[in-house]
A and B are shown apart, each in its own frame.
Chain A
C-alpha cells in the first residue's frame, strides 16, 4: 500500500473545523444530548407521577400513566432497533478491505463513539436507575413486575443499551476490515454479556414471587445482573484490538504537521 501523508489523503469533507477523523463528533455529542434528555425526562416523569399514580398496579390510573408508558417504550424501542440495525446492515460496506488507512481510522473513531454512547446508556441503566430501584422499593409495596421504576430500568434502559451495543457490534462487523474478517470476541462479549442482564429480569421477578417482596439488594436473585455486568470488562479487549490496528494504520501514514 502506498504511503501517503495525512494532508494528501484529506479527501473527506470536514464538518466545521473538525479534524477529518472526528467527522462524526457532532453526531456523537448529539447522541449524548438525546440520551440525557430522554433519561432526565423519564426521571422528571417519575418524580411527577410515581407517588400520585404508581403505588398500586390495580388502579386505573396505573394503566394510564405507567402501562401506557411501558407499551410506548416497547413500540418505540422495537421500531428504533429494527430501523437502526436494518440501516446499519443495508448500508454496509461491501468491500471494507479496500478502505484507505485514513478512512479506516475514521471508522475506528466512529466505532469508538458508538461504544461510548453504548457505555453512556449502560451508565443510566446500571448505575442511576438500577440503584434508584432500591430507593423506589422503600416507597412502593411490590405488587407487579412493572413498577414505576422497573418500567424505566428493566423495560427501557436495558433494551436501550442493547440497541446501542448491537449497533456498535453491527457497525464494526459491517464497516471495519479487521472486525469484518473475524468476529471480535471481546466486542461480542461486551454486547452479549450485558444483554443477559435483561434476561436476568426473569430470575429476579421469579425470585421475588417465590421468596420475598422486600428489597434486599445483595440477594442472590440479583446476581444474574451482576454477572452480566462483568462482561463490560471485555471493552478492554476492544480497546486493545483497536489500538493494535490503529497504530498499524498510523504507521502507514506519513507524518504531517
Chain B
C-alpha cells in the first residue's frame, strides 16, 4: 500500500514539475480601492535572484501610506510587513522600517513615508515567486511587487543558529523537539496504558447488564482503586517535579513579547509640496482599458519637470518620453509605454499647468483593477513620479473619484 501511494506521489510530483509555478498570490481579489489607497509601494528591489540554501536575499523598497485612506478600512493601527512565499521556504532573519529593526507589529500613519528592508535566508530549494506585503489589521493583505527567486542546494544543509542571552547557541530547526517528543511520548504511553487496562476486559454488554442489575460496584475492583490512587499521587508528583526541574534548568525566562513597535515616519518624501498635483477628474474608458486623468500641476521646484510614471496597486505606467529608472522582474505589471500626456513639454519652474494624463494598458483588466468602477468606493489613488533635468525625482500621491465610460 505504502509503495503504491509512494508511486502515486511520484507520478503526481512528476506531473507537477511541468507546471510553471503561480506568480500571483490572490492579490486580485482585494478591492481595488484598498489596493490603490492604502499602502502605495515603489522602488521595491531584490538583492539576487539565484541563491543557495543558507544564502541571504534582501528585499528593499519604499511605500507611502495614502492620505485618502478608505473609510471602509480601519486605520492602520496595527500592521505587519510580511513576505508571500509558499510556506517558510525562506526564513525572515532581519526586518527594518526606516532603518529601525522591528519584530512585532507597528502603527502606520496615513500620509507618511517609510522605507523597508527585509533579509531572508533560503531554506528549501525550488523556484518561488515572492512578494513583500502588508497585513493590515481588519483590512487584509496588500501586496507589493513580486519576483522569482531560485534556491539551489540541499534542504538538509539548512541551519538556523541563534544565540540566547545566556550565551547558548541553539539550532531553531530542532530546538526543543526531542524534549517535546519525549514528554508527549511518555504521557501518551501512560494514557494508553490506562485505556488498555480497562478495554482489555469485557466492555459494553456485560458492564451495561451489571449496571442494570445494580451490581456496578463489582465493576471496579480493589486493584483498580489502588492503581487509581497511585495515579492520583504519581501524576501530580511527576508533573510538579518535572516543572520544578524545568524552572531550575531555565531560570531566566520571559513572557512572550507583545509590545507594538513604535517607528517614526521618514521626513516627507511624497507630497513634499515641491510639486503639487490636484487631479480634477478621472474617467476609466472600459473598451480602451485606459484611465484618463485631468490633473492640475504646479511646479514649485527650481527646475523643469516631466511626468515619468503613474503607479498604483503595484502597476506601473511609464512615460517613455521621460527618463525612468528600470525595475526588473515586475515587467508583467509594468506598461513600459503606457503613460501618455496631451503635452509632453517640461513643466517650467513656477508654472501651473492642466495636463491630460492617460494610463493605458490591459493590465487594468488582467489585474482586476478595472473593478473599481463597480465598487462601493470608486475612488482612484496612486503615485505620480516627476523628474527634472538633473534626474531629481519628485513624488506626489493623489486620489480622485472615477467615472466609467463605456463607449
Contact = CB atoms under 8 A, between A and B. Distances in A.
Interface in B1-42: 5, 8-9, 12-13, 15-16, 19-22, 24-30
B368 A58 contact: yes
A13 B67 CA distance: 81
B84 interface: yes
B251 interface: no
Given A53-B19, A138-B87, A139-B86, A247 B26 contact: no
A59 B368 CA distance: 12
A6 interface: no
Given A243-B205, A250-B205, A142 B12 contact: no
Contacts of B24: 55-56, 58-59
A180 interface: no
Interface in A229-247: 239-240, 243-244, 246-247
A48 B9 contact: yes
Contacts of B144: none
A212 B133 CA distance: 15
Contact of B19 (A40, A52, A143, A211): A52
Nearest to A56: B24
Contacts of B15: 48
Nearest to A46: B12
Nearest to B129: A55
Contacts of A45: 12
A214 interface: yes
A49 interface: yes
Contacts of A99: none
A54 B21 CA distance: 9
Contact of B138 (A47, A51, A140, A211): A211
A246 B368 CA distance: 63
A67 to B, nearest CB: 14
A141 interface: yes
B265 interface: no
A138 B83 CA distance: 11
A4 B12 CA distance: 57
A141 B25 contact: yes
A58 B87 CA distance: 21
Give the contact-size bracket for chain B: 20 to 34
A142 B135 CA distance: 12
A54 B15 CA distance: 15
A143 B29 contact: yes
B406 interface: no
A40 B2 CA distance: 10
A141 B140 CA distance: 9
A48 B12 contact: yes
Nearest to B18: A52
Nearest to A54: B22
Nearest to A244: B208
A239 B204 contact: yes
B22 A56 contact: yes
B261 to A, nearest CB: 19
A71 B8 CA distance: 22
A29 interface: no
A214 B133 CA distance: 13
Contact of B26 (A140, A211, A214): A140
A56 B86 contact: no
A244 to B, nearest CB: 7
Contacts of A27: none
B151 to A, nearest CB: 14
Contact of B87 (A48, A59, A139, A244): A139
A59 B9 contact: no
Contacts of B21: 51-52
A52 B16 contact: yes
Given A41-B8, A49-B16, A212-B140, A55 B26 contact: yes
B28 A58 contact: yes
B108 interface: no
Given A56-B28, A58-B368, A212 B22 contact: no
A141 B133 CA distance: 10
Interface string B141-164: 101000000000000000000000
B209 A247 contact: yes
Contacts of A49: 12, 16, 19
A41 B7 CA distance: 11
Contact of B141 (A41, A52, A62, A141): A141
A55 to B, nearest CB: 4
Given A44-B8, A244-B208, A55 B13 contact: no
Nearest to B15: A48
B214 to A, nearest CB: 15
Contact of B9 (A47, A143, A243): A47
A51 B17 CA distance: 11
A40 B22 contact: no
B368 A247 contact: no
Contact of A55 (B9, B22, B138, B140): B22
Contacts of B28: 56, 58, 143
Contacts of A246: 205
Given A212-B140, A243-B205, A142 B9 contact: no
A51 B19 CA distance: 10
Contacts of A139: 86-87
A57 B138 CA distance: 22
Given A55-B25, A243-B208, A48 B13 contact: yes
B27 A141 contact: yes
Interface of B: 5, 8-9, 12-13, 15-16, 19-22, 24-30, 84, 86-87, 133, 135, 138, 140-141, 143, 204-205, 208-209, 368
12 contacts: A48-B15, A52-B20, A55-B22, A55-B26, A61-B22, A139-B87, A141-B133, A144-B26, A144-B29, A211-B138, A213-B140, A214-B135
Q: 4 smallest A-B Cβ distances: which pairs?
A: A143-B26, A143-B29, A48-B12, A141-B26
